[in-house]
């Protein structure tokens, strides 16, 4: 308790110092401001997570809360410009998260769980798209930008909303697993399903956009160019990821030093190149980690290297995510966002339990497997940005509603998943993911 008291005092002191600094020199824009904002989010996120540990809340909740409080919509210790300038840090974090996810995927485990994964992917895709989309149609009179629209237009928007509802947050799942060091059927299923479902979401999104265009404009002909582009993106990303994984395996075997530098170069440099070539970095790095784990003996070495950086990466990534949350949108749209978020959670839970019975899953998976599917983050927001460009008539208000819903899911999801791992007795580690202030001193 004394240690937590010191943590609380330290947090109050650093918040007070930065609050005074931002009021003395408001609007300052330079490299020192960005570095200071990054350092503050790292330290504040760590201290907040340690304080919330007394309530048995996940560290990710502390990171998010620190970002929200310090962000441009609360104390403004880190303003919106600084948050945007910290975007490259998120690029690195996402690359490492995807690599870690791939390195956690065992080919033997995937083969053993092939039936369960297939059934769950099918049920979650069909039931969630139809169920969440149907409820969106019923709730459309409560949504400002759908009032007065023809039924076909409402159905088109509902279809897109249903597709977005199938998107998950691999970063949240891996962050909770990194904290708890969970091992067991639920942890293995969660990693495999969340990582593989991202591929399914990309396919559903392309198909949903095609169908929505046809519903909004009956005279339009279905074009397969989008599906071709998607196929090119998926196949190319897997191919490049396989090559990258083989190169990493050779490097780890022959040299294996300065891995932090290599991972930094991959996270920043390779991601920019992949974006330029119009390939999907997350899928590429996921494939690379999977190749290292299953086609070489270097998987443990890669996993340990990422784990050494992991604590800092997760703090920064989720603290920045908290600072980026659209709090004003959530305040303005919270009744509808809450309704749709609760509906999505209920339908996701029902689909997960039904799929578990059909697939004959482990009892713990049938009972708790749905908890890893609630959180949403970057992928959902990225798809919302795509929809805003594809459908200018309603894309912006749709994106605003998506961001408000994601704000709710990103807070609730990690708490539910950690609770599930604790109840399943798969959590192995209850200590903080980062050293305490006393240990660092």
- Name the CA radius of gyration of the chain, rounded: 22
Q: Residue 153 burial by CB count (10 A; 0-12/13-18/19+): exposed, middle or buried?
A: middle
CA angle centred on 437, ends 414 and 267, rounded to 5°? 55
pTM of the model: 0.80
Q: Categorize the per-residue pLDDT at 399 as very low, low, confident or very high, splitting at 50, 70 and 90.
A: confident
Q: Residue 49 burial by CB count (10 A; 0-12/13-18/19+): exposed, middle or buried?
A: buried
Please write the tens of the pLDDT for every residue from 301-349: 888 887 777 667 778 888 888 887 777 777 777 888 889 999 999 999 9
Please write the tens of the pLDDT for every residue from 211-242: 888 888 776 655 566 667 767 778 888 899 99
CATH topology classification for 106-313+324-423: Na+/H+ antiporter like fold (1.20.1530)
The answer to which of 25-29, 86-90, 114-118, 371-375 has the lowest mean pLDDT is 25-29
Provide the 10 A C-beta neighbour count for residue 300: 12
Q: At residue 51, does pLDDT exceed 80?
A: yes
CB 105, CB 245: distance < 8 Å? no
The answer to which of 12-16, 120-124, 285-289 has the lowest mean pLDDT is 12-16
Phi, psi (deg, nearest 5) at residue 56: 60, 30
Please write the tens of the pLDDT for every residue from 229-285: 767 778 888 899 999 999 999 998 887 777 878 888 888 888 888 888 878 888 888
Domain range annotation of the chain: 2-88+435-440, 106-313+324-423
**Selection from 132, 146, 186 nearest residue 376 by Cα:** 132
CB 61, CB 414: distance < 8 Å? yes
């Amino acid at each position: 308790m004394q240690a937590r008291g010191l943590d609380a005092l330290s947090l109050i002191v650093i918040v007070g110092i930065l609050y005074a600094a931002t009021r003395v020199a408001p609007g300052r824009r330079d490299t020192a401001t960005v570095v200071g904002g990054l350092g503050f989010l790292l330290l504040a996120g760590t201290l907040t997570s340690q304080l919330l540990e007394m309530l048995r809340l996940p560290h990710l909740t502390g990171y998010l809360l620190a970002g929200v409080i310090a962000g441009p919509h609360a104390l403004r210790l880190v303003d919106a410009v600084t948050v945007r300038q910290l975007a490259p840090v998120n690029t690195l974090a996402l690359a490492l998260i995807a690599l870690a996810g791939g390195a956690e995927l065992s080919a033997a485990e995937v083969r053993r769980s092939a039936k369960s994964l297939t059934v769950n992917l099918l049920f979650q895709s069909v039931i969630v798209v139809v169920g969440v989309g149907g409820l969106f149609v019923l709730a459309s009179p409560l949504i400002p930008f759908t009032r007065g629209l023809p039924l076909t237009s409402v159905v088109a928007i509902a279809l897109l909303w249903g597709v977005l509802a199938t998107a998950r947050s691999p970063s949240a799942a891996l962050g909770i697993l990194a904290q708890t060091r969970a091992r067991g059927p639920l942890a293995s299923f969660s990693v495999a399903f969340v990582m593989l479902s991202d591929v399914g979401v990309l396919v559903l999104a392309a198909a949903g956009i095609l169908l929505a265009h046809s519903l909004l404009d009956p005279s339009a002909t279905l074009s397969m160019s989008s599906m071709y582009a998607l196929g090119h993106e998926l196949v190319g990303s897997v191919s490049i990821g396989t090559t990258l994984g083989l190169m990493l395996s050779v490097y780890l075997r022959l040299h294996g030093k300065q891995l932090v530098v290599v991972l930094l170069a991959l996270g920043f440099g390779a991601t920019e190149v992949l974006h330029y070539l119009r390939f999907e970095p997350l899928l590429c790095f996921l494939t690379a980690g999977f190749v290292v784990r299953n086609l070489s003996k270097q998987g443990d070495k890669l996993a340990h290297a990422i784990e050494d950086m992991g604590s800092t990466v997760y703090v920064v990534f989720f603290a920045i995510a908290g600072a980026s949350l659209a709090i004003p949108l959530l305040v303005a749209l919270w009744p509808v966002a809450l309704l749709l978020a609760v509906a999505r959670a209920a339908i996701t839970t029902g689909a997960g339990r039904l799929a578990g019975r059909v697939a004959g899953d482990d009892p713990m998976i049938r009972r708790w497997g749905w908890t890893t599917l609630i959180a949403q983050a970057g992928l959902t927001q990225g798809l919302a940005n795509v929809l805003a460009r594809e459908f200018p008539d309603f894309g912006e208000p749709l994106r605003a509603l998506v961001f408000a819903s994601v704000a709710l899911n990103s807070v609730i999801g990690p708490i539910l998943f950690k609770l599930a791992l604790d109840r399943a007795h798969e959590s192995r580690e209850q200590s903080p993911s980062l050293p305490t202030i006393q240990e660092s001193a």
